[in-house]
Amino acid sequence: MDCLFCRIAAGELPCHKVAEDEHTLAFLDINPATRGHTLVIPKNHGTNVLDTAPDDLAAVARMVQKVAQQVEHALHPDGINIVQNNRPAAGQVVMHYHVHIIPRQQGDRALSGWSHIDKQSVDFPALAEQLRAAQ
Please, which pLDDT band fits residue 11 given cuts at 50, 70 and 90? very high
What pLDDT is recorded for position 21? 98
How do residues 73-87 score in pLDDT, each as one tens digit?
A: 999 999 999 999 999
Number of domains in the chain: 1
Instruction: Supply the pTM of this predicted model.
Output: 0.93
- CATH code of the domain covering residue 82: 3.30.428.10
Starting at the earlier edge strand, list the strands of the sheet with 38-42: 17-20, 24-28, 38-42, 99-104, 79-83
Which residues are known to be catalytic? Answer: 98
The pLDDT value recorded for residue 66 is: 98
> Band of the pLDDT at 1, cuts 50, 70, 90?
low
Work out the end-to-end distance of the chain between its first and last CA atoms, rounded to an integer number of angstroms.
34
**In terms of residue numbers, what domain contains 51?**
4-133
